[in-house]
Amino acid sequence: MTVRAPAKVNLQLSVGPLRDDGYHDLVNVFHAVSLFDELTAVPADELAVTVETAPGSRVAVDGVPADDDNLAARAARLVAARLGVEPAVALRIRKAIPVAGGMAGGSADAAAALLACARLWDSPDDPRLSRDDLLELGADLGSDVPFALLGGTAIGVGRGERLTPALARGTFHWVFATADGGLSTPAVYAECDRLRAERGEEAPRPRVSEELMSALATGDAKALGVVLSNDLQAAALVLRPSLRRTLTAGHEAGAIGALVSGSGPTCAFLAENAEHAAELAAVLAGEGVAKSIVRAGGPVPGATVI
């Protein structure tokens, strides 16, 4: 059973107040892009995980746990527990999504494992786990996992796990600049809180950008480019100052939108069309401001059996 699951970029990431449970209330507009991790689940004596770089990708996988700490292994255990079976499965993960890169690669692997294991162990004719059950299990694993199942473009509220699909027309063309080494998501959120406290700022109550929704609904890339926003960007730039140069290089190379993806350090650049994305990627590759330059389009579907 092989499943592929997409990376995401956040078109809007509005971070509200810190909650008592350690999470922040968000408005998070997720957009799935055509950069995929692939997970193969094969029946085995016991649960095992292997992680490798996908063919043609330059993603470094050294930091990814190949044991029970891997989110995909936890996903397999959750599905097994719900179905009352042993989690006897070997999970082989081939990664093309940057690790700890702000593109929800770990969440994609977890979503892929949920779907693959449900297909392996559940009854095809009378499934005990519905799509909604998988979304709920996903939310237990991480805030971004439900979106990796759903895909497309969607608004996430709560800690980002409560999703409503958003209307989006056409395809948007992206160029991603990956960085050496990742950023820790909790550290970036904590830095965002620290910066706000230092400036005496109250966390605003997040709300969906109307301009963003209308740019998506009309498929207007130029309008989308100017309303992209990420409240975590300032914090990511403090923790990784070199990203400023990467963003500037993208602007100077003609990107119609540029921002840090999620908690970073991957930077996302919006192009006008496929041809412009190819030009932008070529210019950025020559600038030496990234570990690698990757092109992708969105929206694409969520985790899918292939």
Catalytic positions: 8, 144
| Residue 108 assigned to a binding site | yes
Between residues 64 and 284, which has the closer beta carbon with respect to ligand C5P?
Answer: 64
Give CA 132 to chain center in angstroms: 20
Q: What share of the chain is helix, strand, coil (3-state, %, to 5)?
A: 35, 30, 35
Q: Among residues 12, 70, 178, 185, which is the contact residue for ligand C5P, using CB under 6 A?
A: 185
Beta strands per DSSP E along the chain: 2-18, 24-43, 48-53, 89-95, 153-157, 162-165, 172-178, 229-230, 257-260, 267-271, 292-298, 304-305
Any idea which residue has 């009352």 for tokens? 84
Which of the ranges 47-55, 90-98, 184-192, 219-227 carries the binding residues for ligand C5P, by CB under 6 A? 184-192
Q: How far apart are CA 163 and CA 28, in angstroms?
A: 9
Residue 99: CB minimum distance to ligand C5P, A: 14
Q: Among residues 186, 200, 241, 288, which is the contact residue for ligand C5P, using CB under 6 A?
A: 186
Q: Among residues 159, 173, 196, 240, which is the contact residue for ligand C5P, using CB under 6 A?
A: 159
Between residues 193 and 287, which has the closer beta carbon with respect to ligand C5P?
Answer: 193
Largest CA distance in the chain: 58
Binding-site string for ligand C5P from residue 118 to residue 157, where x marks contact by CB under 6 A and - marks none: ------------------------xxx-------------
Between residues 24 and 94, which has the closer beta carbon with respect to ligand C5P?
Answer: 24
| Residue 1 assigned to a binding site | no
| Residue 102 assigned to a binding site | yes
Cβ-contact 108, 188 below 8 angstroms: no
Q: Among residues 30, 121, 176, 189, which is the contact residue for ligand C5P, using CB under 6 A?
A: 189
Residue 63: CB minimum distance to ligand C5P, A: 16
Restricting to residues 4-43, which ones interact with ligand C5P according to CB under 6 A? 22-24, 26
**Count of residues touching ligand C5P (by CB under 6 A):** 12
Q: Which of 306, 33, 301 is nearest to 150 (CA)?
A: 301
How many CB atoms sit inside 10 A of residue 64's CB?
21
| Residue 103 assigned to a binding site | yes
Residue 78: CB minimum distance to ligand C5P, A: 14
Give how far Cα 5 sits from Cα of 2, 27, 147, 199, 226, Å: 10, 22, 10, 39, 28
Residue 191: CB minimum distance to ligand C5P, A: 11
Overall size of the chain counted in residues: 306
Give how far Cα 282 sits from Cα of 12, 31, 177, 243, Å: 26, 24, 12, 18
Between residues 26 and 97, which has the closer beta carbon with respect to ligand C5P?
Answer: 26
For the annotated binding site, the residues are 98-108
Question: Binding site for ATP: residue ranges?
Answer: 98-108
| Residues contributing to the site for ligand C5P (CB under 6 A) | 22-24, 26, 142-144, 159-160, 185-186, 189
